[in-house]
Amino acid sequence: MFDTISYLDQPQAVKDRLDRMKAREVILEVAGLTKKFRTGKSDVVALDNISFKTHRREFLCIVGPSGCGKSTLVRILAGLELASGGQVLLDGHPVKGPGRERGMVFQGYTLFPWLTVRGNVMFGLLMNNVARAEAKKQADEWLSLIGLEKFADAYPHQLSGGMKQRVAIIRALVNRPRILLMDEPFSALDAQTRARMQSYLLEIWKKVDITVVFITHDLDEAIFLADRILVLSAHPGRMQELIEVPIVRPRKAEHFSAAEFAATKARLEALIHPPSQHGDDEEAYPSVPLLTDVRDEVE
């Protein structure tokens, strides 16, 4: 089993929080997971021997370079794709397909445009045979939780991007899943909205009995949100390190300038972008031909 690597002297409050987290039951266990895609006459390995455990109420972020298989991994966890080898266990039971015990939030908002905000939130409840009156009551409670009760009768096209994604999150949570899987859900948002959504998500996570697995390419986002960060290597995706985030909770904006934050980000960058892949490597990028006659050169 891949061991957690603690590379920083962590504050005692962080150590205590992580010890409490690791003492909770394991919700999700991934063991020896591999994924191969058939292209022409050969197989391409997307994920190779991925193994980790996620504990109840943990917030786990997964990062890695482009093409390392992050989205493929979360789709396998969701049951939307089948693994080529290994296994995924949720509460000790094999994951063989989609299930209501897993909620999924995608990069796009994926709301039904013909339904109101309340209708979108009610949809999963109604599909699970909850009475309409009870579904409406629960939907309104969730909308109140995220401050969108005044928009219950609005349609998705009348909402901002951040509001749409808040609705998508509670639509995934309304059926009370054991785990919430999120595939770069904030990447399409502007910087200010993204920051607000990160804080919203942490606030929801504090109030709901949910375990979160969150895919992101944004290292600042991963450090701000996570208890631990799983780092995958470049294609094929293999586990490099499982980092414990040495920052106390609750997380605040000032933590972005903390020494622990900078040290964690430096470690992540060293893993994801080793020196041989930096721009000073002449082999990294092809030369670009001159496409202009402008005589005033730029550097």
Written as six digits, the tokens of 92 are: 């000790």
Give the whole-number percent of the chain exceeding pLDDT 70. 89
Judged by average pLDDT, the poorest of 12-26, 154-168, 240-254, 270-284 is: 270-284
Nearest to 17 by CA among 177, 209, 228: 228
Measured distance CA(228)–CA(154) in Å, rounded = 37
Widest pairwise Cα distance in the chain? 72
Of residues 237, 215, 231, 272, the one with CA closest to residue 45 = 237
- What are phi and psi for residue 178, nearest 5 degrees? -75, -30
Are 167 and 183 contained in the same domain?
no
Average confidence score pLDDT of the chain = 87
Asked whether the predicted pLDDT for residue 19 surpasses 60, the reply is yes
pLDDT at 297 over 70: no
Mean pLDDT computed over 197-202: 91
Residue 280 counted as domain residue: no
Are residues 201 and 87 part of one domain? yes
Rounded CA separation 217/237 (Å): 14
Residues facing residue 230 across a β-bridge? 62, 242
Q: 48: domain CATH number?
A: 3.40.50.300
Q: Are residues 168 and 186 in the same domain?
A: no
259-272 per-position pLDDT tens digit: 889 999 999 999 99
- Contact between 135 and 215 under an 8 Å Cβ cutoff? The reply is no
Query: Would the CA dihedral through 209, 215, 221, 226 be positive or negative?
Result: positive
Which domain covers residue 226, as residue numbers?
12-101+177-270
Domain presence at residue 108: no
CB atoms within 10 A of CB 277: 12
Q: How many domains is the chain built from? A: 2
For 106-163, the pLDDT digits (tens) are 887 788 999 999 999 999 899 989 999 999 999 999 999 888 999 999 999 999 988 9
Q: What is the pLDDT of residue 299?
A: 61
Residue 168 · residue 110 · CB < 8 Å: yes
Q: What is the pTM of this model?
A: 0.86
Residues 124 and 245 in one domain: no
Domain for residue 140, yes or no?
A: yes
Mean pLDDT, to the nearest integer, of 185-200? 89
Residue type, 105: V
Q: pLDDT grade, residue 295 (50/70/90)?
A: low
- Distance between CA atoms of residues 35 and 47, nearest Å: 5
pLDDT (mean) for 265-280 = 77
Are residues 264 and 171 both part of a single domain? no
pLDDT for position 45 = 86
